[in-house]
Chain A
Amino acid sequence: MLEAVSIIKGALPYLLAGSLITAGIVIGAMALGLVLGLSMAVGQVYGGNALKRALGTYVWFFQGVPILVLLFLFYFGVFHYMGLNLSAVAAVTIVLGMTTAAYQANIFRGAILALPQGQFKAASTLGMSDIQTILTIILPQALRLSIPAWSNEFSIVLKDSALAFVLGAPEIMARAKFVASRTYQHLPIYIIAGLIYFILTWAGVRALAKLEKTVRIPGYSNKGM
Chain B
Amino acid sequence: MISPFFQELLEALNRGLIMSMALILPSAAGGVLVGIMAGCLRAFGDTFFRKICDTYAAIFRGTPLVVQLFILYFGLPNIGIYLTPYAAAVTGFILCSGAYQSEYVRGALLAIKRNQYLGAQALGLTKFQSIFWIIVPQAMRKALPGCGNEVIYLIKYSSLAYIVTFMELTGEGKTLATEYFRFTEVFAVIGLYYLALVSMAIFVLKKIEKTLHIPGFGKG
Residues of A near any B CB (own CB < 8 A): 60-61, 63-70, 72-73, 76-78, 80-81, 155, 158-163, 166, 173, 176-177, 180, 184-188, 190-191, 193-194, 197-198, 201-202
Cross-chain contact B64 with A173 (CB below 8 angstroms) = yes
CB <8 Å contact, B67 and A186: no
**Of B75, B186, B198, which is within 8 A of A64 by CB?**
B198
Q: Which of B77, B183, B194 contacts A186 (CB 8 A)?
A: B77
Determine whether the beta carbon of B187 is less than 8 Å from that of A76: yes
B149-192: CB near A (< 8 Å → 1, else 0) gives 00000001111101100000010011001000001111110110
Instruction: Report B54-86 residues with CB < 8 Å from chain A CB.
Output: 59, 61-68, 70-71, 74-79
Does A69 lie within 8 Å of B190, measured CB to CB?
A: yes
Report B202-218 CB contacts with A as 1/0, cut-off 8 Å. 00000000000000000
Q: Flag whether B199 is at the interface (Cβ < 8 A).
A: yes
Q: List 9 A-B contacts (CB under 8 A).
A: A64-B191, A66-B157, A77-B183, A80-B183, A158-B64, A166-B163, A173-B66, A173-B67, A180-B74
Checking B64, B74, B76, B170 against A159 with a beta-carbon cut-off of 8 angstroms, the contacting residue is B64
Instruction: Check if A66 sits within 8 Å of B187, measured CB to CB.
Output: no
Instruction: Tell me the complex Cα distance, A146–B181, Å.
Output: 42
Bound CA–CA A63/B77 (angstroms): 35
A190-B70 in contact (CB<8A): yes
CA distance A67 to B162 in the complex (A): 13
- Are B187 and A67 neighbours in the complex by a CB distance under 8 Å? no
Residues of A within 8 A of B52 (CB): none
Using CB atoms, name the residue of chain B closest to A173: B66
The minimal Cβ–Cβ distance linking A225 to chain B, given in whole angstroms, is 12
| Contact yes or no, A197 B67, CB < 8 A | yes
B156 x A72 contact (CB < 8 A): no
Q: Are A69 and B191 in contact (CB under 8 A)?
A: yes
- Count chain B residues whose beta carbon lies closer than 8 angstroms to a beta carbon of A: 40
**What residue in chain B is nearest A71 (Cβ atoms)?**
B187
Does chain A have a CB within 8 A of B195? yes
B195 near A61 with CB under 8 A, answer yes
Q: Smallest CB-CB separation from A73: which chain B residue? A: B187
When distances are taken between beta carbons in the complex, the residues of chain A under 8 Å from B61 are 155
Q: Is there an interface contact between B75 and A68, defined as CB atoms closer than 8 Å? A: no
Please name the residue on chain A nearest to B192 by beta carbon: A65
Query: Out of B62, B67, B79, B195, which one reaches A162, CB within 8 Å?
Result: B67
Hey, which chain A residues are within 8 Å of B159, CB to CB? 66, 68-69
Once A69-B170, A166-B163 are accepted as A-B contacts, the answer to whether A194 and B187 lie under 8 Å apart by CB is no
Question: In this complex, which of A73, A155, A193 has the most chain B Cβ atoms within 10 angstroms of its Cβ?
Answer: A73
Q: Chain B residue with minimal CB distance to A77? A: B184
Top 3 A-B residue pairs of the complex, sorted by shortest distance between their CB atoms? A77-B184, A73-B187, A187-B75
Complex contact B195–A78 (CB within 8 A): no
Are B187's CB and A162's CB within 8 A? no
Q: CA separation between A159 and B67, bound complex, in Å?
A: 9
Q: Is the CB of A81 within 8 A of B191?
A: no
Distance in angstroms from B102 CB to nearest chain A CB is: 16
A76-B177, A155-B61, A198-B59 given; 15 more Cβ-contact pairs under 8 Å: A61-B195, A65-B195, A69-B187, A76-B183, A77-B188, A155-B62, A163-B64, A166-B163, A173-B66, A187-B75, A188-B78, A191-B75, A193-B67, A194-B67, A197-B63
Contact present for A194 and B177 (CB under 8 Å): no
Chain B residue at minimal CB-CB distance from A184: B78
Contact B71 A191, beta carbon cutoff 8 Å = yes
Q: How far is the CA of A78 from the CA of B191 in the complex (A)?
A: 13
Is there an interface contact between B79 and A187, defined as CB atoms closer than 8 Å?
Answer: yes
When C-beta atoms are compared, the residue in chain A nearest to B73 turns out to be: A186
Pick the residue among B64, B162, B186, B198 that contacts A160 (CB under 8 A). B64
B70 A186 Cβ-Cβ under 8 A: yes
List A contacts of B198 (CB < 8 A). Answer: 63-64
Residues of chain B lying within 8 A (CB to CB) of residue A166: 163
The CA-CA distance from A136 to B195 in the complex, in Å, is: 38
Chain A contacts of B68 at CB under 8 A? Answer: 194
